[in-house]
């Protein structure tokens, strides 16, 4: 089975890039093992529809992105199957979120959507360009981490922690062009 960890977001606007940063966080801080399955990490950025051929080539996807939800607070974490998206979840924040939802809708309609889990977090909306992550996002990293690791464990992956790079340091690596 081919498994994809897909980080979505605009890294130029603070918390909006949390999906990309967190996918890199997992990739840089952990080593994953499986005799049966392949695991790939993809920085999907704001590509949306251009990701269709990549996403459709996998059997399972964990998509990490920022989302909105009714009565949610900045830093709240949500985990759900795309096909069972709770009614309280909204993709009304930034343009990349709406485009990503349209991408998943199109893939579902065409029968090309693999089993897709969403790991979403409510961002602090930041207008000026920045690579700084909000305190709420940084405090939510342990919950994101536990959820993502459990997803991979349930698929039969084992792992070991090999690094200690913080999410904020990963965001700053993007700023410096190191990722």
Low-confidence ranges of the chain (pLDDT < 50): none
Give every CB contact of residue 135 below 8 A, 6+ residues apart in sequence.
Answer: none
Domain that holds residue 135: 2-175
pLDDT at residue number 170: 97
Q: For position 18, what pLDDT does the model report?
A: 95
What pLDDT, in 10s, does the model give residues 139-156?
Answer: 999 999 999 999 999 999
Q: Give the span between the Cα atoms of 153 and 33, in whole angstroms.
A: 10
The domain spanning residue 27 has which CATH number? 3.40.50.1450
Q: The pTM is what?
A: 0.94
pLDDT for position 98: 59
169: Cβ–Cβ under 8 A, 6 or more apart, which residues? none
H or E element that contains 8? strand 2-8
Domain count, the chain: 1
């Amino acid at each position: 089975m081919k498994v994809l960890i897909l980080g979505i977001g605009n890294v130029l606007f603070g918390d909006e890039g949390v999906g990309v940063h967190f996918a890199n966080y997992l990739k840089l801080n952990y080593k994953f093992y499986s005799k049966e399955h392949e695991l790939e990490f993809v920085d999907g950025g704001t590509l949306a529809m251009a990701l269709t051929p990549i996403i459709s080539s996998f059997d399972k996807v964990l998509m990490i992105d920022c989302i909105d939800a009714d009565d949610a607070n900045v830093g709240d974490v949500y985990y759900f199957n795309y096909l069972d998206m709770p009614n309280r979840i909204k993709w009304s924040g930034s343009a990349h979120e709406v485009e990503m939802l349209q991408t998943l809708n199109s893939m579902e309609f065409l029968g090309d959507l693999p089993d897709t889990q969403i790991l979403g977090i409510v961002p602090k909306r930041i207008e000026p360009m920045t690579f700084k992550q909000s305190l709420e996002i940084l405090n939510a990293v342990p919950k994101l981490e536990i959820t993502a690791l459990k997803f991979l464990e349930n698929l039969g992956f084992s792992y070991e922690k090999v690094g200690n790079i913080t999410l904020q340091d990963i965001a700053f690596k993007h700023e410096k062009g190191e990722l």
